[in-house]
Amino acid sequence: MSTQKSVRQEFGTVEENPVRFDREKAEQIVEALNTDLAATYVLYHQLYKHHWNVEGAQYRDLHLFFEEAAKDAQEGADEIAERIQALGGVPISGPAAMEDHSPVEFEGEHVYDIRTSLEHDLEMYGDIIETVREHVDLAASLGDHATAQILREQLVVLEDYAHEVEHFLEHDSLTEYHA
C-alpha cells in the first residue's frame, strides 16, 4: 500500500512543462491525447481478445497478426502517455476512465466468428484514424509540432493495420466466387 499522503497532481490538470509549451494550449492537446490513449487501449484489449480466440483455417496468420497489432497499439499508447506527461498533463490510466474517455467501444465479452471480429476491428481502426487525424490538425494549429509528428507517425501505423484487416476480409481469389 502507498505511503504517500497527498496527491501530487490531479488528473485533468496541466502543470508547467519542461518543453515550454503554453499551458492553455497544452490543456487542449492533453485532453485530445488522453482520448487517443483511451481509444488505443480499447483497441489493444480487443485485438488481444481476438488473438486469444481466433480459430479456423487462417488461425496461425491471424493469431500472429493480432499479437503484433496489439503490441504496436501498446507501444503507441506508451508514446502518447509519455507525451502527455511531457506536456505537464496526467495520462489516463484506469480501465473505467479509459472506457469513459474513449471514442470507440469495446465489442464486449462475447466471442464472435473471425470475420465479425475483423469487421469490428476495421470499424474501430477507422474511428480511431478519424480522431487521430483531427488531433494532428489540432496540434499543428496550436503550434505543437512534436505532438503532431508523433500522431502522424501513429496514423501511418493505424492506417497500415486497417489496410491489413481489409485484406483479411477480402474474398479469397483462389476459391470460386459466386456473387
Does residue 155 register a pLDDT over 70? yes
Q: What does the block give as the cell for 119?
A: 469487421
Model pLDDT, residue 175: 60
Q: What is the mean pLDDT of the chain?
A: 94
Model pLDDT, residue 179: 60
Q: Over pLDDT 70: what percentage of the chain?
A: 94
Does residue 3 register a pLDDT over 90? no
pLDDT band at 171 (very low <50, low <70, confident <90, very high): confident
- Domain 23-169: give its CATH superfamily: Ferritin, core subunit, four-helix bundle (1.20.1260.10)
**Mean pLDDT, to the nearest integer, of 153-179?**
85
Does residue 104 register a pLDDT over 90? yes
Does residue 77 register a pLDDT over 70? yes
